[in-house]
Structure 1
C-alpha cells in the first residue's frame, strides 16, 4: 500500500530510495514539489546511477544539508448511500462518511546521501505522522499503543539510514536499513505523491504498508536493477510486536528509461508468513506463506499524457484466500498547475477476508496481532471502481512550498451482485469530496 514526503536523496544521478508504500521513487521532502501538478501515480523511473559525488569542500559539515519539511492534509468524502454505521466500506483511510478528517500532519527530517570516502555514501531519514491515516499505518510493537483509543494517532513512517556502496558493478549497491515503507505498488501514502485522495482496493488490501528491515537495489547498468529485501513482516516489529515470529522478504527488478525514456516498469515478489498465531496456532502460522505479486508500468505518451497500469495477485495459504486485481490510471496535464486524472479498477476478493472495514480506532492494529476486533466484511466480491479528479497546485510562494487541492468523485459497484455498501444494502455507491494539502 504506501509516505508523506521525503525520502533520503542519493547523489545526483543515482537511485533515490523507494518512498512510502508503493513502487514510486521520490527524493522530495514533505511539502516540497515542482510547480506542476502531479501526473498519474507511477513507478517513477530509477535515474541512471553514477559514482558518489566528490567529497564536500573543506569546512563543510556533513550535517549542513539536513532539511526539514512539514506537510498537512485534511479532507472528507460524502457517501450517497448514507450508511447508518457511518463507514465508507472498503476505505481504510477515508473510512468515515460525511466526516471531515485530519488525515496527516507529517514531519520529515532528511539527511541526503553524501560521500564519506572511497566511493561510499551515507544518509538518513526520519518521518513521523500524526492523524487519522496513522490508524492504518501503525507498526505493532512500536506505535500500536500510542494514542490507541483516539481517531488521530501517531506512527513512524520512516526511521532509517541509507547507504551507497561501490560494490559488484560500476553503479554499485544502494540500501536502506530501519523502519521503511513498502516498495510494492503504485499509490503511496504521501498525498503529494499520488493522484487521488481515495485509494484503490489494490493499494489498501493487496499491497503491504510498513516494514522493519532492509531494502537493497543493485544497479546492473543505467536501465536495470535487481531489488531485494527482508523484514519482520507487514507492519510488524519483533518479540510481542510480531504476530508469528517469522520474517518475510522481497525480490524483483526495475527497468527504467526504456523506449527512449518513455517507459518504466517494476516487478516485485514478496513471500513470508503474515497470519497471526492467535488465529492459526503457532505451527500453522509459521508454515503458511503469503505470496504477493505486483507488476506496474508507466508510459509517458507525451509531455501532457501519461498512463500507468498495475496488476497484482495475492495467495494466502493460512486463510486459503486469493485476490487479483488490475488498475489503470490516466493523467492529462492541462496546464502547468492543473492535472486531470482518471482511475479504473477491477478487484477480486475470493473469500471476503481481505476487504475488511475496522470501525474502531484500534481495530486494524488488533487484527494484525490476531486480537479480538469488531470488523465489517462482505462475502466473496468482485469490486469495480471508477474515479475522476482534478489536481490543482497554484504557485503561491513565500513560505508555502505546496498547496494542493483535489476534488474527486468515485463510483463503486459490486460486479457479482453482492451488496457490500451502505450497511450491506446496496450494490453501488458514489463518494464525492476531496482534500487539501499544505507543505512548508
Structure 2
C-alpha cells in the first residue's frame, strides 16, 4: 500500500502475463455468469455450494465539477459526474461450517468494475486492462473447520482472501454507505495471499494468527513488491447474544517496494509497516447499530504515521428504510498515505514501485481530514410490495462533506469538498 508521489513517462509493459490474465479474467466472468444463473445450479452439484452475485452502479457529483480533478479522499468514488459500474461480483462458495464435526469449504469470487482499479492483487490482472472498468479476483481460497481444539474450534483459510481488518469491506452489500471512509481507503489492507487461522475459545474469545505476502500482494517477482513476509495477529470478543463485539487486529511486515522496481527503496525488505485496527460494534436494540473504529499506521522505513477514528450510527426504521451517519477524523502526519490517482492503473503502479502515468495528487504536507457522511438505504420491494423487484434491491443516496482542518488545500485547490452520491445494489442468488 505504498504511494509514489511522482509524475513520470509511462512505462510500456510487454504482453507478459496476458495469457495468464486472460485465463483468470475468463474465470471471473464464469463466476459472475454462474451467479447470475443461481436458480439453475446443476442438479448434481455438491450439497452446500452456493452461487450468488451483486451488481453495484452509482454516480457522485461534487461542488468543484469534473474539470477540476477527482474527488480527493474518496478513492473508490473519485470520478465526478460519471455514472460508473462500481462492481459486478460473482461468488461460488461452500461454508466450512461451525459445528462439532470437521468441515471444509472454499470461496471463489471475481469482480468486474471501477472498484477493481484499487483492489487488485499485484501480479494478477493489475495491468491487463487500461480502461476505467477492470477485472479482479477478490478471493480464491480453501477453508477448514476443525472442532475440539483447545476447548473450542479452529478455522483455517489458505489462499487469497479479503483482509479481516476494518469495519468496511470490498463487496458493497456489507457496507452501510456508498462512499468509503479514509480509514478503509488509506489506513488498511484490502487483500492478502497466505494463511489465516482463527481459534474460537470459550467465553466468546477468538484469537487470530496468520502469515501472508503483504498488503494487496500475491506471489512471485511481479506479485510481491518486495521479498519479505508479513503477518496478522489479534483477538476478537462477542458477548452471549452478539450485541457487543470487538475485533482488534494488527498486520505487520515490510510493504514498500524494494529496489527490484525503478522507484523502490533500499532496505524495503527490512523495515515493517504496522497497521493496527480495532472495531467495536454495539447493538442497543434491534433498530440501532453503533460502530466505533480506531486505526493507527506506522511505516518504519519512511518514518510516516497516520491515525484516525470513525463513528457509525445506523438506525433501521423498518425493513425498507434505514439511515446511517458516519463521522470521521483521520490524521496523515507526514502526508504519505492519503492520495488521489488520476490514471486507471496508477494505484497499482505506485504500489509496485513503478512510475505512474499521471501525477499522483496529495496534500503536499501533513493534514488532518474531517469527513461527515449521511446516507439512506431504501429497499423498494419491501416498501412498495412489488414482487417483480428483487428483495435485496437497494437505492442509497448520500451527502458527504470533507474538510482539511489545517492549511492544506487538497480538494481541487480548496480546503473543503461537498459530494452527493447515489448507488443502486442488485443482489441475486444465494
Question: Is TM > 0.5 for Structure 1 vs Structure 2?
Answer: yes
Number of equivalenced pairs: 380
Partner of 2:10: none
Q: CA deviation at 1:235?
A: 1.0
Question: SS at the partner of 1:68?
Answer: strand
Q: How does 1:61-72 map to 2 (within 5 A)?
A: 63-72=46-55
Q: CA deviation at 1:64?
A: 2.5
Distance 1:353 1:391 in 2: 34
Cα gap change, 1:437/1:285 in structure 2, threshold over 3 Å: closer, same or farther?
A: same
Pairing 1:121–2:103 present: yes
Provide Cα deviations, 1:14-36, integer angstroms capped at 9, x if missing partner: xxxxxxxxxxxxxxx989xxxxx
Partner of 1:136: 118
Q: CA deviation at 1:113?
A: 1.9
Of residues 373, 392, 397, the one that matches 2:378 is: 392
Partner of 1:414: 404
Provide Cα deviations, 1:184-211, integer angstroms capped at 9, x if missing partner: 0001122211111000100110010011
Distance 1:69 1:92 in 2: 26
Question: SS at the partner of 1:364?
Answer: helix
Partner of 1:273: 254
Pairing 1:376–2:361 present: yes
Q: How does 1:209-248 map to 2 (within 5 A)?
A: 209-240=190-221, 241-248=223-230
Q: CA deviation at 1:61?
A: 7.3
Pairing 1:426–2:407 present: no
Provide Cα deviations, 1:292-347, integer angstroms capped at 9, x if missing partner: 11111011111222211001000001221100000000111111211011000000
Q: Is the 8 A contact 2:328 2:372 kept in 1?
A: yes
Q: How does 1:30-109 map to 2 (within 5 A)?
A: 63-82=46-65, 84-109=67-92
Distance 1:187 1:171 in 2: 28
Pairing 1:286–2:269 present: yes
Pairing 1:364–2:347 present: yes
Partner of 1:263: 244
Cα gap change, 1:184/1:333 in structure 2, threshold over 3 Å: closer, same or farther?
A: same
Partner of 1:51: none
Q: Is the 8 A contact 2:256 2:264 kept in 1?
A: no
Partner of 1:4: none
Partner of 1:189: 170
Provide Cα deviations, 1:1-59, integer angstroms capped at 9, x if missing partner: 9xxxxxxxxxxxxxxxxxxxxxxxxxxx989xxxxxxxxxxxxxxxxxxxxxxxxxxxx
Cα gap change, 1:426/1:256 in structure 2, threshold over 3 Å: closer, same or farther?
A: same
Q: CA deviation at 1:212?
A: 0.7
Partner of 1:43: none
Partner of 2:14: none
Of residues 301, 307, 317, the one that matches 1:334 is: 317
Structure 1 stretches of 4+ with a deviation exceeding 6 A read none
Provide Cα deviations, 1:226-253, integer angstroms capped at 9, x if missing partner: 0111111111111212111111111000
Q: Is the 8 A contact 1:63 1:111 kept in 2?
A: no
Partner of 2:19: none
Q: Which runs of 5+ in 2 are unaligned?
A: 2-33, 37-42
Q: CA deviation at 1:167?
A: 4.7
Provide Cα deviations, 1:67-86, integer angstroms capped at 9, x if missing partner: 11121101011010225343
Partner of 1:15: none
Q: How does 1:133-172 map to 2 (within 5 A)?
A: 133-147=115-129, 149-172=130-153
Q: CA deviation at 1:434?
A: 1.2
Pairing 1:402–2:388 present: no
Question: SS at the partner of 1:336?
Answer: coil
Q: Is the 8 A contact 2:264 2:353 kept in 1?
A: no
TM-score by length of 2: 0.84
> By percentage of residues, which structure has more helix?
2
Pairing 1:302–2:285 present: yes
Question: SS at the partner of 2:179?
Answer: coil
Question: SS at the partner of 1:235?
Answer: coil
TM-score by length of 1: 0.82
Distance 1:324 1:212 in 2: 25
Of residues 308, 311, 322, the one that matches 2:305 is: 322
Distance 1:142 1:222 in 2: 41
